[in-house]
Structures are given as structure tokens and as C-alpha cells.
A and B are shown apart, each in its own frame.
Chain A
Amino acid sequence: MSEPVLSVRDLVVEIPTRHGVLRPVDGVSYDIAAGEILGVVGESGAGKSMTGNAVIGLLDRPARIASGEVLLQGQPIHQLQGAALRKLRGRHMGMIFQDPLTSLNPLLTVGDQLTETIQEHLDLSASQAHERAIAALDEVGIPAARQRIDSYPHEFSGGMRQRVVIALALCAEPELIIADEPTTALDVSVQAQIIALLRRLCRERGVAVMLVTHDMGVIAEAADRVAVMYAGRLAELGPVREVVTQARHPYTAGLMASTPVASQGQKRLRQIPGAMPRLDAVPAGCAFHPRCERAQARCRQAPGPTLQACDGRAACWFPITHEQEATL
């Protein structure tokens, strides 16, 4: 396999507060290859969005990258600031936000917003940029793009607006897209279209996509690999089919059991007892142990399990084993 587009190594994000330092992201590592979609899943506050923001350098102060590395096509970018970082954004990495209603400037036409982004990064004349903007809208499936380019955001429906957002994120042809809950604010039927669009663009262009969501259904449908986060740490990382059907980490297994599947009928959903710890009260050892049925003495001891220390897929001392695994 060639060099991954994005490599995150032992990333730690800290927020200094009056009551001590919080760690919303604590030692996260993963790679995303070109043309691959990595799903990052977890509950609210698990650190998944924070990881995405850290990669693109949009952490809100006082949050900051305390240690670890972010490599974009082999180049370290976690220490870049100012103009150097700005030139990467949009050109080499793009971001898609959750709510298409609020991520477009209401006072500028979509064409204005597209051409401004294109001309910022690519050396094109105004008319070339205009043509390219039309092509970008066309590519994300906006019908009659040539006429629609002079429309304002409020003249589009929610799903169409999210397509415009994707066009904006992709118009300068970045190699990496961070999609932060791109379907959460949309109707279910529109969600599927947006996921299909992301998959298509990812395959056709060879873009690496980091898909942040709390929706296991979206992950199962879109992602190639999945990273499950819990309390700022990676709980499990592996190919999506294996993680979904044969979860090794008890948290992943709990997450799967609590995900409704429409086709499976009336089976009562199982809950994971308790709640994810607050950032200022993450327990020692494995952060999940107070909620875990399988927890033993070792789980309560610091240092807790990491992917590297365990089997490389689940950060768990006592992972769930599956009998049929050998045949896979």
C-alpha cells in the first residue's frame, strides 16, 4: 500500500481549565489511504469531532494539540500556523460541517462562494473559475448548475445545500476531506443520497475521507474502516464489516446491540448501563471498565489498554473472541 494521505500518531488534544487539564483526545492513531473512507464513531463528547478539528487546525482556543503528530501526505502539519496552514486548507484538506443551513454564508450566492474559494487556491481567471464552479456543482448533482450558480443558499433545499457544501469543500481538489456529521441534520432519504455522493467522489477522485458520525448505520453503509472512540481514546479500529459483525471491544459490541435495525423486527434494544465519563473524571485504567461486564482487576489499573498493547484492533485486555473468525 502506498503512503497514507493522512496519518495521525498518538494525537493528544488538551484543554487547560481552572480545575486542571482536560484531554478530549488522548493518544489517537490511525491512517487513511487515498480513496478510503474511515468512519469515526462514538457518543457525543467521545472526541471524534475534536480529532477532525485538530487535523485541520480549527481547534477553538484554549484547546490545543499537546503532543502527537498529524502527517498529511507524509508532511507534518500539526505545528503549522497562519498562512502556511491556510494554504493547506481547502487546497489539500477540506471540511464538511454538520448543518448545511448554517455553513453557507446567506448573503453571498453559491457561485460567489465557490469562485472565491477556487481563485484563492488555483491560479485561474474569473471566467475559468466560474466554469469550474459550475462543473463543481454539476459534479455533486445539482441540476441545471449553470442557472443555479447565481442562487443564494436560501433558495436551495437542505439536501441540495449539503451538496453545495460538498462542492465547496472539494472545489480546489483536496486530497483529504473531513466530514463532521455530514448527514445528521438531513432527512433519512436525503442522508442516503449524500452518503452515496460521498462514496462516489471518494472512489472517482481517490480522496481520503474521514467520516465523523455517531450513526452506526451511516458508518456501516459508507465506511471502509471504522474507528470507535470512547472518552477520547480509540476503543476499536478495523475493517467495517468485521467491526460491525464481530466486535471485539465490549463497548463496540454494546454500541452495536443498541443500534436499531429496521429489518430485524421486534427484538428489544440493549442498552449500555451508565454513561460515558465526563472529561474531568475519566477513570484510571480502561476508561470503559465501570460500565463493562467483562472488567477484571487488570482493567482498573493504569496504564489502560491501547491498540498497540492489545491485539491491534481492540484496546481491550479481554476482547470478545468469535469462533468463526478463523474461517474469515
Chain B
Amino acid sequence: MLAYIIRRVAQSILVLLVTGFVAFSMFSFVGDPVENMLGQERTQADVDRLRGQLGLDQPFVVQYAKFLQQAAQGNFGLSYRQGREVSAILAERLPATLELAFVSGLLALGGGIGFGILTAIRRRGISSNVIMTLSLVGVSLPTFLIGILLIYVFSVELGWLPSFGRGEVVDLGWWTTGFLTVSGLKALVLPAITLGLYQMTLIMRLVRTEMMEVLRMDYIRFARARGLRERSINFRHALRNTLVPVITITGLQLGSIIAFAIITETVFQWPGVGLLFINAVQFVDIPVMAAYLMMISVMFVGINLIVDLLYFAIDPRLRVDGKAGGH
């Protein structure tokens, strides 16, 4: 198992090197940053001096190595637009995105697994049919449309919930949170639903399919034949056996909740990294874009690593270390 972990970590590092390369190439291929930074009135001497300062006169490989070295320390240089440390800007924006992603993820997981089990067990029930039909809406409507619809109903017509922003936040020094104020919590509701709905329907349909598959297995029949309670059969025996594929997909989905919060953040003007990224794209603020890219890839790789390790916790068959097993 240790060998497996080491191998997976090595693979993760390789993935990060490749995305790092893509992020780094943006600096070279998307325009010349020096021209942007110095503006119209510049001399060749200014340009050369800045190139020297930024290390742009060095060979490509050296530049890449330096970029990686800096990136590994969380240093992505200055934002072209704001003139501040990119890492500081990200750190300031990240809590908003992570809190939103956390609440959406919870919603997607809880709702997805709960409804998935319900619709698998009561396959022919009315509630199942209603949920399955509604889930089609969740899968097929684009995120921005759901967001706008929610804003229209709950903010414009009913006036219950705010249509944009984070509400009041409490600054804890290293973290700003909207969890501690009423307006912060209210502001979370609509964006969290918008962001989590698609993932929820996806997880729900997956859990349902897997669950129906498992419920047909012999060991479920055998559990019935032993007179175990339905609750124990459904949760202890069936649900656990659906978890491996569900966790795989869920892990990827949680990653994409953070990564693709961009649309939701734009619709709700949520002051997170997604909105930051969209603004950076508009201004060709490459250091911010590169840093965002690296941050997302670190998150994806990290989540995948955790998912792989969770397999071992769930399925004892994978834990066999050369011990006699198999068939």
C-alpha cells in the first residue's frame, strides 16, 4: 500500500509539472508582459532593465525552473492589473469560494446520496417519480439559467434573499467568513443551490443506478434470507457497496464545484476566486490566471489522491498486501 501511495504521489507531481508548464507558457505566448507593464512611454533601456529584473532574458528552461520554484512557494509575482502580490489577492478571495463550495458540496452529497437511496428503494413510488423528473431539470438546465431563475423568484419577486454579494462577513484575520452573520448565511443560499444542483442530480442518479445494481446481488438476497432488517440491508449492506464508484465521481465533482464556481460567482457577483479569474481574463492579467490554474490543478490532484486512499478504507479487497487472497 505504501508503494501505491508513493506511486500516486509521483503521478500527481507529474500532473502538476505539466499544468505548470501550460501556466508558464501563457507568459510567453499571450503577449509580452513588459509592454503591458511599462506602457506607451518607454525606452529600450527600461525594457531591457525590466526584462533583466523579471529574468525574461534568461533561457526558456531556466525561466521555467524559476517559475516552478517560485510557484512551489506560492509566489506568482505581481498582478498586472492590481500591482499586488497574486498570492495575497488569492488568499483574500479564496475563503469566499471555499465557503460556497463547501455548502454546495454538502448539499450535493447529502441530497444526492439521500435522494439516490430513496429513489432506488422505492422505485415505483410517486415521490421517486417526482424526484427523478425534477432531476432531469437539474441536469439539463444550464447553471447560469438556474441562478437567474432563482434570483428572479426569491430576490426580485419574493424579496426573501439577496441577489448578489456575500452579505456581511466576519474577518478572522486569516479568513473571512459569512457563516457567522445572518446576512452572510442568507447570501449563501441561492449561490449554493445554483452551484450544487447539477452535482446533486448527477450524484443522485449515480447512487440510484449503483444501488439498484447492488440490490440485485446475491449477498443482498442472502441477507434477506437471513431475516435482516430492511434498514440494515439497505444501508449496511447495499449502500457501502455502492460507495467506490460514487466516491470516484463525487471527488471529481467536488473538484469541479471549486473550479467551475466561475459561472455562479459571476451570476451572483460572489467575491471569490472564480470572479477574480473572469476579471483577470478580461484584463489579460496572466499572473492571476496562471496562479488560478495552478491552484485548481493542485486541488484536483489532491482530491483525486484522497479519493484513491478512500478506496482502501472502504474496500478490504484492495488492502491485500501479497497475502493469500483472490480466488
Binding site for B on A (CB under 8 A): 56, 58, 86-91, 94-95, 97, 99, 101-109, 116-117, 120-121, 152, 154-155, 158, 165, 168-169, 172
Shortest Cβ gap from A72 to chain B (Å): 13
**Contact partner, B320, options A107, A154, A158, Cβ 8 Å:** A154
* Given A117-B228, A158-B327, CB of A107 within 8 Å of CB of B314: yes
**Contact partner, A104, options B222, B227, B240, B327, Cβ 8 Å:** B222
In whole angstroms, what is the CA distance A233 to B186 when docked? 68
Please tell me if B42 contacts chain A, counting CB pairs below 8 Å: no
Query: Are B226 and A97 in contact (CB-based, < 8 A)?
Result: no
Contacts of B323 in A (CB 8 A): 155
In whole angstroms, what is the CA distance A101 to B316 when docked? 15
Query: Are A106 and B227 in contact (CB-based, < 8 A)?
Result: no
Contacts of B130 in A (CB 8 A): none
Give the nearest-CB partner of A157 in chain B: B327
Query: Are B325 and A155 in contact (CB-based, < 8 A)?
Result: yes
Of B241, B315, B316, chain A has the most CB atoms within 10 Å of the CB of B316
Contacts of A108 in B (CB 8 A): 236-237, 240
Give the nearest-CB partner of A86 in chain B: B227
Query: Are B317 and A117 in contact (CB-based, < 8 A)?
Result: no
- Can you list 28 residue pairs at the A/B interface with Cβ under 8 Å? A58-B224, A86-B228, A87-B227, A90-B225, A90-B227, A91-B227, A94-B225, A94-B226, A95-B222, A97-B218, A97-B221, A102-B217, A102-B218, A103-B221, A103-B222, A105-B237, A105-B241, A106-B219, A107-B314, A107-B315, A116-B228, A116-B236, A117-B226, A152-B316, A155-B323, A169-B225, A169-B226, A172-B226
Of B224, B225, B241, B327, chain A has the most CB atoms within 10 Å of the CB of B225
In whole angstroms, what is the CA distance A121 to B325 when docked? 32
* Given A106-B315, A152-B317, A154-B316, CB of A101 within 8 Å of CB of B226: no
Shortest Cβ gap from A238 to chain B (Å): 29
Give the nearest-CB partner of B124 in chain A: A61
Contacts of B315 in A (CB 8 A): 106-107
Query: Are A107 and B241 in contact (CB-based, < 8 A)?
Result: yes
Please tell me if B326 contacts chain A, counting CB pairs below 8 Å: yes
In whole angstroms, what is the CA distance A296 to B198 when docked? 69
* Given A107-B240, A154-B325, A155-B325, CB of A102 within 8 Å of CB of B228: no
Query: Are B326 and A99 in contact (CB-based, < 8 A)?
Result: no
Please tell me if B88 contacts chain A, counting CB pairs below 8 Å: no
* Given A107-B240, A152-B317, CB of A58 within 8 Å of CB of B221: yes
Please tell me if B324 contacts chain A, counting CB pairs below 8 Å: yes
Shortest Cβ gap from A56 to chain B (Å): 6
In whole angstroms, what is the CA distance A155 to B317 when docked? 9
Query: Are A105 and B324 in contact (CB-based, < 8 A)?
Result: no
In whole angstroms, what is the CA distance A134 to B222 when docked? 20
- Other than the given A86-B228, A108-B240, A155-B324, 17 more pairs (CB < 8 A) read A58-B221, A86-B227, A86-B229, A88-B227, A89-B224, A89-B225, A89-B227, A94-B226, A95-B225, A97-B222, A102-B219, A103-B218, A106-B241, A106-B316, A106-B317, A116-B236, A152-B317
Shortest Cβ gap from A134 to chain B (Å): 18
The 10 tightest CB contacts between A and B, nearest first, are: A90-B227, A89-B227, A95-B225, A102-B218, A90-B226, A103-B222, A105-B219, A103-B218, A152-B316, A117-B226
Give the nearest-CB partner of A95 in chain B: B225
In whole angstroms, what is the CA distance A106 to B316 when docked? 8
Please tell me if B232 contacts chain A, counting CB pairs below 8 Å: yes
Contacts of A99 in B (CB 8 A): 218
